[in-house]
Amino acid sequence: MKSQLLTILNANSEPVSGEKISEKLGISRVAIWKHIQKLQACGYEIESGPTGYRLKNAPDIPYSWEFSQRESRIHYHDHVDSTMDTARQMARKGCPDFTVVIAGTQSQGRGRMDRDWASPQGGLYFTLVLRPDIPAVMSPRVNFATATVLAHTLRDLCAIDARVKWPNDILVQGQKISGMLSELEAAEDQVAYITIGIGINMNNQPPSNLPTATSVRTLKGTAISRKKFLADFLDRLEAKLLAQDFSTVIEEWKSISATLGQPVRIVSRHEVIEGKAVDVDPNGALIVETADGLRKTIYYGDCFHNPV
């Protein structure tokens, strides 16, 4: 109902009478007033006067009702420990494919390799629950597809030169703007669900202890609507995943890669490998050519570009 009410208010710059809204939505004027009060409590500036209601300003908060087509699958929380945990609990209880858990802030946001992910106000933090009908070995392709779609959304909506860094970071001018964390549950080698957590430095200051991080607002000098960005990204990604064509995903990733051709150092729990990143194989593994001409296939690790 909030979604329909906002559609009416958004379409009118003049006040809309309670009577007219009541006719359109088929609910009483008292019920409308209650919805208006709830929206106001959520930060919407809605004037109410003798001629009706007028929306003056809407907060840039990705509430579920801002996503009319997918409202029932969007779960917004002002604050959680980590959207990864909330999403996993929902996945285990059987939530539908393409459920999205979003948080305004996180107190225990986490990244790859057991790192923390600072999650202050203004950033975009969410986890997708995906249920692709594919064998578990193919799951990296879903991650690569997601990173590629995200980079293209940043390019198209924010006009920035977003590039993918192996495995799934997004860099702009060599600085990290987004990170991705993927967790998988499989049953008999088939994917049961994948939770993909994405943190985007959107309108927040990038963490000061990470000089190699940036944010969209830092680059553009102006804030970008997080709800519009997320709506667009989700539409693009869902269309991509519904097409179920994972054959071109790695090639698409490679075409906007910041890693290929670079001297790299890969640090995993067991070893450090240095060399030149020359390729990514169909499973998403990075191929590094070492100084002695050997080609190593790397499945997991931290990737540093241009190590000194």
Among 77, 183, 75, smallest CA distance to 139 is for 183
Q: Does 109 bind ligand BTN (CB under 6 A)?
A: yes
Q: Does 167 bind ligand BTN (CB under 6 A)?
A: no
User: Which of 71-79, 124-132, 224-232, 245-253 is the region at the interface with ligand BTN (rule: CB under 6 A)?
Assistant: 124-132
How many Å apart are CA 308 and CA 301, to the nearest integer?
18
Q: Does 132 bind ligand BTN (CB under 6 A)?
A: no
Contact 79, 107 (CB under 8 A): yes
- Start-to-end CA distance of the chain, whole Å, equals 57
How many Å apart are CA 150 and CA 129, to the nearest integer?
16
User: Which of 12-20, 38-46, 65-73, 109-117 is the region at the interface with ligand BTN (rule: CB under 6 A)?
Assistant: 109-117
Tell me the residue number closest to ligand BTN, measured at CB.
179
Cross-strand bridge partners of residue 287: 279, 297
How many Å apart are CA 180 and CA 84, to the nearest integer?
11
Contacting residue, 104, 179, 206, 275, with ligand BTN by CB under 6 A: 179
Residue 91 Cβ vs ligand BTN, minimum distance, rounded to whole Å: 14
Q: Does 106 bind ligand BTN (CB under 6 A)?
A: yes
Q: Which two tokens stand for residue 295?
A: 């080609």
Q: Which is nearer to ligand BTN, 160 or 303 (CB)?
A: 303
Q: Write out the residues near ligand BTN by the rule CB under 6 A.
A: 82-84, 106, 109-112, 115, 117, 125-127, 169, 179-181, 197-199
